[in-house]
Amino acid sequence: QVQGEFSPSPAGSSASRVSLHPAVLVPSSVEAMAKRKHGKKNPRGTKKADKIHGMRKGKKGEAAQYITRAQAMAKLQVSLADFRKLCILKGVYPRDPKKKSQGLDKTYYHLKDIQFLSHEPLLNKFFDLKTFMKKFKRLMGRGERDLAEGLESRKPDYTLHHLVRERYPSFDDAVRDLDDGLSMLAVFQALSGDQKRGIPVAAINEATRLYQEFQLYVIRAQALRKVFASVKGYYYQAEVRGQSVTWLAPHQFAQELPPEVDFRVMLTFLEFYRAMVKFVNFRLYAELGLAYPPKRSTVRDDSSA
């Protein structure tokens, strides 16, 4: 209903004029503004992704519990090499979720594992090492070798003792996982240092020493049970604290380094197993009442070198 008054047009004019009350225009203007602000409703209804709790795909449920490797690296702010090293040292491995929201060609990790890595103290050490390498390369590029040598003496260092205690709460757990560690030490003690492939001589020497120390324990404890020779090498089985420990040692021939093998990943495994086997050897020697580390013959070491 239109409320107003009708006034006839003046003489000579055929048009008529209707004056409306101002209150009549307010509701229509507000309604128009609301339509422009909120827009029209979708005549087809809500989208399928918004029907369930108004969430988008991959934001809730099982798919939201996994993230890709790129997302994990961005969350931790580390490079690919540091991310791989951190996962190996912490024992974190990729997962295979049923629903891969980011694509089938992506590598997925559990969100709780990445949160577990974010609290690792080694992250700060990795950042310190990265900063150290930038300063060291800058000094070497300028030719300031004296300053570079002084900086190298203050190079950040870290240990893996807390990771060994974390991954193996009891000593029996460490003995149960000794197979892979001994096999890795046996492989590297048969190799020689190679600077081109990034294999340091110090790592080879320590792997050889730890492997020989465990062999000495097996001899003293008379723990060897089985030996089998194959094309790959020699399989040994010893009984340690009531558990069977089996490892593979390659033949003592000149070993060729295959180009397709990524020795950086293997050296990361070796770094952890060196810390773990050293801890195991110390406990085993203490149970036999032997001093650790055992005394070595310098004459024999020089002749073997």
Question: CA-to-CA distance for 87 and 81, rounded, in angstroms?
Answer: 10
What phi and psi values does residue 156 have, to the nearest 5 degrees?
-60, 140
In this prediction, residue 291 carries a pLDDT of: 93
Instruction: Flag residues of the chain having pLDDT under 50.
Output: 1-7, 9, 12-20, 22-26, 49-50, 299, 302-305
Provide the β-strand partners of residue 67: 109
Question: CA-to-CA distance for 174 and 167, rounded, in angstroms?
Answer: 8
Handedness of CA 196, 197, 198, 203 (dihedral sign): negative
Express each pLDDT in 100-143 by its tens digit. Answer: 878 888 899 999 999 999 999 999 898 888 888 888 888 888 88
Q: Which of 185, 203, 187, 207 is nearest to 195 (CA)?
A: 203
Q: What is the pTM of this model?
A: 0.73
In this prediction, residue 253 carries a pLDDT of: 84
Other Cβ atoms closer than 10 A to 89:
19
In this prediction, residue 256 carries a pLDDT of: 79
Residues 6 or more apart in contact with residue 188 via CB below 8 angstroms: 199, 203, 204, 207, 208, 266, 270
In this prediction, residue 6 carries a pLDDT of: 45
21: helix, strand or coil: coil
- Per domain, the residue ranges of the chain are 62-120, 121-158, 159-304
Express each pLDDT in 75-102 by its tens digit. Answer: 999 999 999 999 999 999 999 888 887 8
